[in-house]
Structure 1
Amino acid sequence: MLALRSAERLGRDRIAELVPVAPRTVSRILARRGAPPLSALDPMTGQLIRSSKQTATRYERERPGELVHMDVKKLGRIPDGGGWRANGRGGPGDNRDRKHGLGYDYIHAVVDDHSRLAYAEIHADEKGATAAGVLTRAADHFASHGLDRIEQVITDNAFAYRHSRAFRTAVAALGAEQLFIKPRCPWQNGKVERFNRTLATEWAYRRPFTSNADRTAALAPWLEHYNTRRTHSAHGTPPASRTQPTC
């Protein structure tokens, strides 16, 4: 168990599937040996980098599509041959000069509150028109999994969400209500914030990529795995298994 946590940076449920033992047993052993939570570890090296505030309070909407969370995560683009994660600090690709860097990819993500079914696309910007297109295609993706209606869409207060006519139109076209988190309260958009962290750990920084195209190509297979095969710690099943209406 300790070797899997150290080498693969797996959570208790994934470790329990591989050993196999009960997840609670894994938790007790990891805690007894002083293993820090995954959120406190560097996803590439496994080294302790920070401590995190935790809460036992959780909430979940009662049915799929009642509420979806949307957000954007920014990632630096990877030069051909790999960046510093592949070649080390000071090596080829270690271009930390923001003025002459390669710029950023913007990962637009949409997550269903009840099932945790997720959809994500990579774009060159975080504009309202781009976000509107992502939301529309996310709704189509959710419908293909049996989630045929989105009732509410919650986002932070970014300009693209609050002031973009294109985004407001996309929400209205779905027949949904647009909601915003309170300023400086990111936990109100916590489902997609947590998904972004998982996405970074298990996709973006899981291994050193040798090009930006290489990392981009790895997103769709990872999303398929996340939605259909990966056990979600919040409810113990893959998200796609919870998309049918419950009432």
Structure 2
Amino acid sequence: MPHPNAPLTETGRLRLARCVVDDRWPLRRAAERFQVSPTTAWRWADRYRRFGEAGMRDRSSRPHTSPRRLPTRTERRIIKVRVLKRWGPARIAYLLGLNPSTVHRVLTRYRLARLTHLDRATGAVIRRYERAKPGELVHVDVKKLGNIPDGGGHKILGRAKGTRNSTASAPIANNRNTKRSKRGYAYLHTALDDHSRAAYTEILADETKETATAFMARALDHFTSIGIGIERILTDNGPCYKSHLWRDLLQDNHIKHKRTRPYRPQTNGKVERFHRTLADEWAYARPYRSERERRDAFPAWLHWYNHHRGHTALGGNPPATRVPNLTGQYS
């Protein structure tokens, strides 16, 4: 395809070349007639003499030879390290004494999958999936966050005074006699719909079977209120999800329970990714002066996530676009 600003199309090149070769026009006259340089007129005329009409087509700008290209043996070493160790370009380059950009070009040329698309344990390409309708599968998990002491943590007070679990008025962190009051943890229980990515999250005090089951009961009521009937729930192998209390709740609501394989958190990756987004954009997005201040900011963030934040898996649209009845929740 010719450049949009090119003065000659393939037809124009052919006319120019025929004027010079067949009609024996002088180069300068032909160049002036077709508004190109004499050098350009000579090039197309020469191609016409050698290749005929086929020579008027665009050619690849790739050089015939690449004397500075890496030897095949070095490329094979790069691929071998990538496959066996699953390292990125920087670590491979350090090991083999190469430039990271060179390693990256080799990996791209051989179309090796990105590390984020591979299973960490086996190296197999992760199979992406998405359920066809809301409620067909809901991912459930718990995210644990350390509570922020009153007065702020190290992001407010600095490392010397704001170390983890220390009070705002602690003298100095490196004093071994300093008594630290443990602030404990916040447990974020989340139920996330696979199809729409709509999330329901509560900040609770623990992750016991009673707490997890009570949360799930409220989550079921929430999803029912927005028109989503849950058919299947996917969790990890946490004790709270193996209890009879949890089992009875799902059986009473005719919901199938699926659990991930041990040590395979990527199976429940959608809710894991949501918790990472939650941590980046809410929990650690700005320095909070207390745990209460952070928790007070959470409902507004969750509303923004469900209604306004564009999701890459949804074509840049928020989850609310896939759940019409979600409008008005968390307002």
* Same fold at TM > 0.5: yes
> Whole-Å Cα distance in 2 between the matches of residues 79 and 90 of structure 1?
14
Between Structure 1 and Structure 2, how many residues are aligned?
A: 193
Contact 1:145 1:240 in 2 (8 A): no
Matched, 1:231 2:310: yes
Letter of the structure 2 residue corresponding to residue 128 of structure 1: K
Q: Secondary structure at the match of 1:234?
A: helix
TM-score w.r.t. structure 2 length? 0.55
The aligned residue for residue 117 of structure 1 is: 198
> Whole-Å Cα distance in 2 between the matches of residues 111 and 212 of structure 1?
24
Q: CA deviation at 1:173?
A: 2.7
> Whole-Å Cα distance in 2 between the matches of residues 139 and 90 of structure 1?
45
Deviation above 6 Å: which 4+ runs of structure 1?
A: 96-99
The aligned residue for residue 192 of structure 1 is: 271
Pairwise CA RMSD of aligned residues?
A: 2.3
TM-score w.r.t. structure 1 length? 0.73
Residues 217, 188 of structure 1: alpha-carbon distance in 2 compared, 3 angstrom cutoff: same
Q: CA deviation at 1:94?
A: 4.5
Spell out, residue by residue over 1:33-89, the C-alpha distance to the aligned partner (whole angstroms, 9 max, x if none): x9xxxxxxxxxxxxxxxxx94017421011100000000011001111111122221
Contact 1:81 1:93 in 2 (8 A): no
Contact 2:155 2:162 in 1 (8 A): no
Q: CA deviation at 1:232?
A: 1.0
> Whole-Å Cα distance in 1 between the matches of residues 191 and 136 of structure 2?
13
The aligned residue for residue 108 of structure 1 is: 189
> Whole-Å Cα distance in 2 between the matches of residues 135 and 168 of structure 1?
11
Contact 1:70 1:155 in 2 (8 A): yes
| Structure 2 residues without counterparts, runs of 5 or longer | 1-100, 102-113, 118-125, 167-172, 174-178, 326-331
**RCO (CA 8 Å, sep 6+): is it higher in 1 or 2?**
1
Percent identity, aligned pairs only, is 48
> Whole-Å Cα distance in 2 between the matches of residues 203 and 170 of structure 1?
31
Matched, 1:62 2:132: yes
The aligned residue for residue 144 of structure 1 is: 225
Q: CA deviation at 1:212?
A: 0.6
Contact 2:199 2:306 in 1 (8 A): yes
Matched, 1:156 2:218: no
The aligned residue for residue 146 of structure 2 is: 76
Out of 213, 228, 231, which is 1:132 matched to? 213
Q: CA deviation at 1:92?
A: 4.0
